[in-house]
Structure 1
Amino acid sequence: MNTTRTTTRTTRRTAYAVVGAPALMALYGGIRLVPGSREPGLGWTVGHTAMFAGLLLFAPVLLALRGRLAPRGTTAGRLAAGAALGTAFAGLAASLVQIGIDLCVGLVAADKAEQSRLFDRVQGVPGVLPAVYQIGPLLFYVGLLALLVAAAVGAARTLPWWSPVLMLVGTAASGVDLALIPVAAVCYLAALAPLVRRSAGPRPALA
């Protein structure tokens, strides 16, 4: 009974994260399209707060993916899945730091000019630009995609082949133009949705 309750809570938590993370990401992308939202003010604060919360919700998604791979495959496969999870979490941490900096700068700056000066000062610190803005956040997408590929085409095969494809399409879209973040969010939601439907484990074989 306790195991069943724990599984139910885990499934529910995963479902909330799978829906909530892309939804908050889409909210950020939508707010970003509103005139005036890219300078200090309500739009900047609400949008970046939503994105920060959305990124936090990706943590249980990553753990759910890793959990689907852990019981299956070879030792090498499990080690590879662990490496992918570590990579994704490192990138997630960098992304959270980036959004946190952006949020703080927006709250402190009085206007767009001061915002730019503060960003120049922060990004001028050695190591901050590559670690937090250029390379670090990319690790999140690399690790997440690796986990999805392993779940879709590896020994586990607990997700459909199109889950990593949709994730790649969404990531590429937001990389081409940040105005496409809402489109990317829809792709992420579709890519991760099977994780919820299958989270209860494989169906028992019919007698």
Structure 2
Amino acid sequence: MTTTQQRAFLYGPVLFGAYGVIRLLDGIDGVKGPGLAWTAGHLCFLAGLAFFAQGFAAMRRSAVEKVAGRDRWSLAGLWIGGAGIAALVVQFGADIVTGLISADHAEMGDRVGDFQALPGVELAFYILGPLLFFVGQFLLTGRLAALRTLKVWAPALVLADSLLSYTVKDLIPLGAVMLVLSYAPLWRGTADTSRAALVKA
């Protein structure tokens, strides 16, 4: 795994955490968006997604190398997680655009509502799509834990982060900390991704 790939496992969660903190600060006055904080927070999240896309691909590659062949579990995680990333890009991209072209929170809410009212949009990009991101991430983390690349408790932390981030958005910063801990062996470069280590174990 290259240094760039290793950093993706740190930068992705940190940027998610930054989004969560900015989101909390943006809501101090009781209203979230539009404005600089709204746009900056969403851009942090989009940048985080880019690093997660890179990380998912690296996790898939690590699993394949360790088993020295095809690995359907990690492949499923990559495709499911990738679909979730695509959905979140659309959702957050729409939030940024509506924030930039709206004069106030009420107008922004109306524009977002109009977008969600389009056939299939709410299900694909706000309900099912984001869920796929968490499912894919859990599958990939679980696979690497099974292959002893990650700690056995890493999938539990990832699952906890998913539940927190999906149900209670104010806890996104806490969830980001869980991800940093889960992926520590990867971003620190201490994970053993060799097949010999698996055979020995």
Secondary structure of 1:33 counterpart: helix
1:194 aligned to 174, 185, 188, which one? 185
Q: Which residue of 1 aligns with 2:165?
A: 174
* 1:54 and 2:48 aligned: yes
Secondary structure of 2:148 counterpart: coil
Contact 1:158/1:198 (<8 A) preserved: no
User: Equivalent pairs: percent with the same residue?
Assistant: 37
2:142 aligned to 137, 149, 162, which one? 149
1:105 aligned to 86, 98, 103, which one? 98
Q: Which residue of 2 aligns with 1:3?
A: none
Q: Which residue of 2 aligns with 1:31?
A: 22
Distance 2:95 2:148 in 1: 38
Distance 1:81 1:136 in 2: 19
Residue type at the aligned position of 2:107: E
Give CA deviations for 1:55-83 in whole Å, capped at 9, x if unaligned: 111011101111111124486x6123212
* Post-superposition offset of 1:203: 10
Distance 1:64 1:74 in 2: 15
Contact 1:13/1:60 (<8 A) preserved: no
Q: Which residue of 2 aligns with 1:20?
A: 11
* Post-superposition offset of 1:200: 6.5
Query: Relative CO higher for 1 or 2, CA cutoff 8 Å, sep ≥ 6?
Result: 2
TM-score by length of 2: 0.89
**Structure 1 gap segments, 5+ residues each:** 1-9
Q: CA RMSD, aligned part only?
A: 2.1
Tell which structure's C-alpha radius of gyration is larger.
1
Distance 1:169 1:27 in 2: 19
Distance 2:23 2:66 in 1: 41
Secondary structure of 2:150 counterpart: coil
Count of aligned residue pairs for this structure pair: 193
**Structure 2 gap segments, 5+ residues each:** none
Comparing 18-27 with 28-37, greater Cα deviation is found at: 28-37
Distance 1:199 1:12 in 2: 13
2:153 aligned to 156, 162, 165, which one? 162
Comparing 195-204 with 66-75, greater Cα deviation is found at: 195-204
* Post-superposition offset of 1:16: 1.9
Contact 1:11/1:200 (<8 A) preserved: no
2:61 aligned to 50, 62, 67, which one? 67
Residue type at the aligned position of 1:64: A
Residues 121-160 of structure 1 aligned to structure 2 (within 5 Å): 121-153=114-146, 156-160=147-151
2:175 aligned to 173, 184, 187, which one? 184
Residue type at the aligned position of 2:183: L
